[in-house]
């Protein structure tokens, strides 16, 4: 396990400042050179994640990558995994929760996403990421600062207290238009649901298409105050 020492924090701060104006490929290259196979990535196959997978295939194709397979993902999401493997040769591991959907819903007397979506995300995402990141020193995320107020605080490189890992955000200073330009120019596979009004895609029970003029994450946990699954909140508590 990488120890969160003052020396490490100083190194990360220096790297983050140096890479603030760097392009995503340069940031990913830094992470791959610094952490080697102790670097990992978790992806839900959003457009940002697919762009990073393309860049990894060019820079560090042996980087371990996983998907948090909650059991509630759209089939269209899982189809992207196959297309990524065929085109870029990156085989994304599917990490599954302790219980199947059937077992989990039986355990809680029905779908927990209806009554306590935060707990559902914690059990089927956060805990699975903690297991998937065991033995790793750093992970790559695909968040952008312009996606939400909480994500606006993200550094390029920093210490993730929640998971005890270095977190690298190579797309933090990029825009939605930049992401889609990359997808178009490099013919990167993406989730076909994006063509049907789904701008941000998570689990099917908690995701809807967005309406004209809505924020791009308005379709996630619609009708509730919840805006994040907890993977990328700045709150340090493990079940945020």
Query: What pLDDT, in 10s, does the model give residues 79-110?
Result: 999 999 999 999 999 999 999 999 999 999 99
Instruction: Determine the pLDDT at residue 61.
Output: 96
Provide the token pair at 224: 């509730």
- Does a structural domain hold residue 229? no
- Does a structural domain hold residue 230? no
Structurally, the chain folds into a number of domains equal to: 1
CATH number at residue 121: 3.40.50.620
Taking only the tens place, the pLDDT of each residue in 24-54 is 999 999 999 999 999 999 999 999 999 999 9
Average pLDDT of each block of 10 consecutive residues along the chain (240 residues)? 91 97 97 96 94 97 94 96 96 94 96 92 90 91 84 90 92 95 97 92 92 80 67 42
Distance from the Cα of residue 34 to its chain's centroid: 20
pTM of the model: 0.88
Instruction: Determine the pLDDT at residue 216.
Output: 78
Instruction: Determine the pLDDT at residue 228.
Output: 59
Burial 207-240 (b: 16+ CB within 10 A, else e): beebeeeeeebbbbbeeeeebbbbbbbbeeeeeb
- Does a structural domain hold residue 201? no
- Does a structural domain hold residue 59? yes
Instruction: Determine the pLDDT at residue 225.
Output: 64
Coil, helix or strand for 171? coil
Consult the annotation and say whether 50 binds a ligand: no
CB atoms within 10 A of CB 62: 11
Active-site entry in 229, 230, 231, 232: 229
Which value, to the nearest 10 degrees, does the dihedral of the CA atoms of residues 211, 217, 218, 219 take? 80
Which residues constitute the domain of residue 116?
6-193
Which value, to the nearest 10 degrees, does the dihedral of the CA atoms of residues 78, 193, 25, 7 take? -70
Residue 223 Cα distances to 108, 208, 219, angstroms: 22, 11, 9
- Does a structural domain hold residue 124? yes
Instruction: Determine the pLDDT at residue 190.
Output: 97
- Does a structural domain hold residue 237? no
Consult the annotation and say whether 203 binds a ligand: yes
- Does a structural domain hold residue 213? no
- C-alpha 41/C-alpha 48 separation (Å) is 12
Instruction: Determine the pLDDT at residue 152.
Output: 85
Consult the annotation and say whether 206 binds a ligand: yes
229 annotated active-site: yes
- Does a structural domain hold residue 74? yes
């Amino acid at each position: 396990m990488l120890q969160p020492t003052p020396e490490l924090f100083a190194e990360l701060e220096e790297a983050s400042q140096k890479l603030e104006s760097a392009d995503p490929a340069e940031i990913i290259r830094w992470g791959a050179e610094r952490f080697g196979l102790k670097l990992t990535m978790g992806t839900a196959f959003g457009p940002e994640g697919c762009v990073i997978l393309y860049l990894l295939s060019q820079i560090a194709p042996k980087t371990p990558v996983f998907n948090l397979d909650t059991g509630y993902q759209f089939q269209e999401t899982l189809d992207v995994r196959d297309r990524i493997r065929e085109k870029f040769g990156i085989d994304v591991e599917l990490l599954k929760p302790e219980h199947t959907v059937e077992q989990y819903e039986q355990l809680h007397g029905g779908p927990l996403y209806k009554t306590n979506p935060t707990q559902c995300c914690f059990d089927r995402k956060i805990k699975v990421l903690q297991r998937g990141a065991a033995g790793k020193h750093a992970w790559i995320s695909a968040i952008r600062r312009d996606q939400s107020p909480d994500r606006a605080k993200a550094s390029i490189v920093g210490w993730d207290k929640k998971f005890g890992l270095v977190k690298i955000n190579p797309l933090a200073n990029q825009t939605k238009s930049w992401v889609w330009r990359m997808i178009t120019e490099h013919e990167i596979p993406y989730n076909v649901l994006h063509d049907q009004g789904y701008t941000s895609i998570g689990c099917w029970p908690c995701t809807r298409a967005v309406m004209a003029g809505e924020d791009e994450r308005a379709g996630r946990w619609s009708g509730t105050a919840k805006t994040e699954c907890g993977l990328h909140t700045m709150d340090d508590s493990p079940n945020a």
